[in-house]
Structure 1
């Protein structure tokens, strides 16, 4: 994907080596079938047809492979959210679209494949760098919308910007964090419109 966002990944060997992509593709399929927690590097090596030592030439651990898979998912989610925001002209609509896109992207990537969901859950539990980077990017995107809204007169300016951004992010977080998302499925359909409307009312000048 051209100009796609990059995420911090721990790896070995050439970053653009075809074997890395081959390992990640095979691991994604294997994790999807058997689950992340129950799969070992030895299992992956046997499934792919490589030796365990050869896989370690490209990835230092199973987590490193999981990070690459997770990064691919988060990159897709971030691009979907950014595309939705960029389609809107004014800050209030950008915020609405951001809420909607985050929920849709999270549900699409985390609920369609329960086995791969385990990777996202592990990433959130163990605070992998890829998840921290994704959350930071979403926060930056949110703050940029708020700043634009203040400049255009659509949003109030009295509350400190960082305080406002932090509060709104907490409202979004149940649909960003896979550990919380599993408890938010029932409200996912109506949540984006209701939450964004509530937030926009609080932002009125």
Structure 2
């Protein structure tokens, strides 16, 4: 599968300018210490040693910086999920491993670092572009697995492909969305196997 590009949000200045990466790295650390919602661009400028005006040359707002950090986090989850899918050739097993990797990677990223959870929660609440793009890539992965499963006669063919992929995504969503995941922590150990088994039974030809 080809890896679609991410949409990290509005950015200014030269695309390859190392200062942008420096701002993002410093902002990530600052948000870890103080939280996203409590930090202003002025606070960030002081901590980095840049002027506020200079930061605005590269990012139009605090959200634009947050979107870039969020994109980096979601890219980690996506990388884990893609690796899990690629580790087997059987479509049913791809789906099982996708569920497992998505839950484990989300837990690690969103809850091992509570300050970064603050950014993820804000992104999910406000439906940032990075979040919407991530959701579409997850659905595209699901469609690809479903297509392969239909070709191998493992899955039924009656349900429209996009409808089936969206339905499966909605089953996965409580374990991909940080706002929902915090209410599902008691079930994360067993949920991937149980939910993927339920979905696979519904996909039987």
TM-score higher than 0.5 here? yes
Paired residue for 1:173? 173
- How is 1:124-143 mapped onto 2 (pairs within 5 angstroms)? 124-143=124-143
Partner Cα distance (2:80, 2:5) in 1: 12
Paired residue for 2:48? 48
- What's the Cα RMSD here? 1.2
Q: Normalization by structure 2: what TM-score?
A: 0.96
Partner Cα distance (2:46, 2:162) in 1: 50
Paired residue for 1:200? 200
Partner Cα distance (1:8, 1:72) in 2: 8
- How is 1:138-177 mapped onto 2 (pairs within 5 angstroms)? 138-177=138-177
Paired residue for 1:190? 190
Alpha-carbon distance change, 183 to 47 in structure 1, aligned in 2, over 3 angstroms:
same
Q: Is the 8 A contact 1:103 1:176 kept in 2?
A: yes
Q: Any runs of at least 4 consecutive aligned residues in structure 1 with deviations exceeding 4 A, and if so which?
A: none
Deviations 1:103-144 (A, max 9, x none): 011111101111111111111111111100000000000011
Q: Is the 8 A contact 1:4 1:79 kept in 2?
A: no
Is 1:22 the counterpart of 2:22? The answer is yes
Q: Is the 8 A contact 1:4 1:75 kept in 2?
A: no
Aligned residues: 203
Partner Cα distance (2:113, 2:11) in 1: 25
Q: Is the 8 A contact 2:100 2:193 kept in 1?
A: yes
Which shifted more, 153-162 or 16-25? 153-162
Which runs of 5 or more residues in structure 1 are unaligned? none
Partner Cα distance (2:167, 2:58) in 1: 40
Q: Normalization by structure 1: what TM-score?
A: 0.96
Deviations 1:63-101 (A, max 9, x none): 000000001111111111011101111100000011011
Paired residue for 1:115? 115
- SS at the partner of 2:119? helix
Partner Cα distance (2:42, 2:161) in 1: 49
Aligned-pair CA distance for 1:8? 4.1
Q: Is the 8 A contact 1:80 1:105 kept in 2?
A: yes
